[in-house]
């Protein structure tokens, strides 16, 4: 039987943790560094940090905040938001991230999944899928859930898996 794991996700906007429902009604939820430290104390197995406006603001993830959080925690740390290149991933890994999560950039350029895996290993890349039920089917959204893509969620997940399988050759890091 698989072990249950607790993986809190900090949605970050303007350097603060925020909460909302279905990407709307966003409100301040506190200091991300203090929340990250509290999650570690409470026994979280991993932490996810998503800079939810980086893509729509056409900017990189808040690297300084990633560095500050990474210094305070000792659990695996996944970072997402505004990642569109292998260079972006390099900066985040150097700042203390263990993995990255991509969504909008994976939809825009699926080969980025393979590029990240080839450089850092397949364990380093997570493909997130924002999805909403519309017109009797689940559809993929990008830009923090704000923009419909027209992609069917299941078909997109299958395409992501095919990309993962393509990159899943032995010894990618050698």
| Distances from the Cα of 125 to the Cα of 9, 119, 120, 146, angstroms | 16, 10, 8, 23
Sheet holding 24-30, edge to edge: 24-30, 16-21, 9-13, 47-51, 77-80, 99-102, 125-127
The mean predicted confidence, pLDDT, of the chain is 90
Select which of 45, 88, 130, 135 is catalytic: 130
Three-class DSSP category at 140: strand
Model confidence at 119, pLDDT cuts 50, 70, 90, reads very high
Active site residue 130: yes
Which residue's structure tokens are 């992609």? 151
Q: 86-112, pLDDT tens digit by residue? A: 999 999 999 999 999 999 999 999 999
* pTM of the predicted protein model: 0.85
Backbone angles phi, psi at 49, to 5 degrees: -120, 120
**pLDDT confidence tier of residue 174, bands split at 50, 70 and 90:** very low
As a residue count, the chain comes to 174
> What are the helix (H) ranges across the chain?
32-41, 63-72, 86-95, 104-108, 111-120, 153-167
11 a catalytic residue: yes
Closest CA to 91 of 51, 148, 135: 51
The sign one gets for the Cα dihedral 65, 70, 72, 75 is positive
pLDDT at 80 over 70: yes
Dig out the tokens for 41 from the structure. Answer: 């104390």
22: pLDDT confidence band, cut at 50, 70 and 90?
A: low
């Amino acid at each position: 039987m698989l072990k249950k794991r607790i993986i809190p996700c900090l949605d970050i906007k303007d350097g603060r943790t925020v909460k909302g429902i279905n990407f709307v009604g966003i409100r301040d939820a506190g200091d991300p560094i203090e929340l990250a430290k509290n999650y570690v104390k409470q026994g979280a197995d991993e932490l996810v940090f998503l800079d939810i406006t980086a893509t729509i603001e056409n900017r990189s993830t808040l690297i300084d905040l990633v560095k500050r959080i990474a210094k305070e925690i000792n659990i695996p740390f996944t970072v997402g938001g505004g990642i569109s290149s292998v260079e972006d991933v390099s900066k985040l890994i150097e700042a203390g991230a263990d993995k990255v999560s991509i969504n909008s950039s994976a939809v825009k350029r699926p080969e980025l999944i393979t590029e990240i895996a080839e450089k850092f290993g397949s364990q380093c890349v997570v493909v997130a899928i924002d999805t909403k039920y519309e017109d009797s089917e689940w559809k993929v959204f990008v830009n923090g859930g704000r923009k419909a893509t027209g992609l069917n969620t299941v078909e997109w997940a299958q395409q992501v898996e095919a990309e993962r399988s393509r990159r899943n050759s032995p010894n990618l890091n050698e």
